[in-house]
């Protein structure tokens, strides 16, 4: 069913409301310290200073099994 074929104005307004709420941008105010942490983290990722999530999970399981 194409939207342009729908004549029910109430239905179309309801769809518009749903779409508007799903596409609204949320602005998060960050402190200077938070912005710097994010920039530093991006630089570390560019230098390869990170661990893959699956590998980390495996290392944690090994660590927990030795405790």
Query: What average pLDDT does the segment 8-35 reach?
Result: 85
What tens digit of pLDDT does each residue of 55-67 get?
999 999 999 998 6
Q: How many domains does the chain divide into?
A: 1
Identify the domain containing residue 34 by its residue range.
3-65
Q: Using CA atoms, how far apart are residues 61 and 38, in angstroms rounded to an integer? A: 28
Half-sphere exposure of 23 (CA within 13 A, CB side): 6
Q: Do residues 30 and 38 lie in contact, with contact meaning Cβ atoms separated by under 8 Å?
A: yes
Query: What average pLDDT does the segment 9-31 reach?
Result: 83
Hey, what are 12's tokens? Answer: 């179309």
Which pLDDT does position 42 carry in this prediction? 95
Q: Using CA atoms, how far apart are residues 7 and 55, in angstroms rounded to an integer? A: 54
> Taking the model in full, what pTM does it have?
0.48
The answer on pLDDT for 54 being more than 90 is yes
């Amino acid at each position: 069913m194409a939207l342009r074929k729908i004549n029910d104005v109430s239905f179309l307004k309801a769809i518009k409301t749903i779409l508007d709420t799903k596409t609204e941008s949320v602005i998060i105010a960050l402190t200077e310290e938070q912005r710097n942490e994010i920039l530093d983290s991006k630089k570390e990722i560019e230098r390869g200073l990170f661990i893959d999530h699956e590998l980390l999970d495996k290392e944690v399981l090994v660590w927990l099994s030795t405790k």
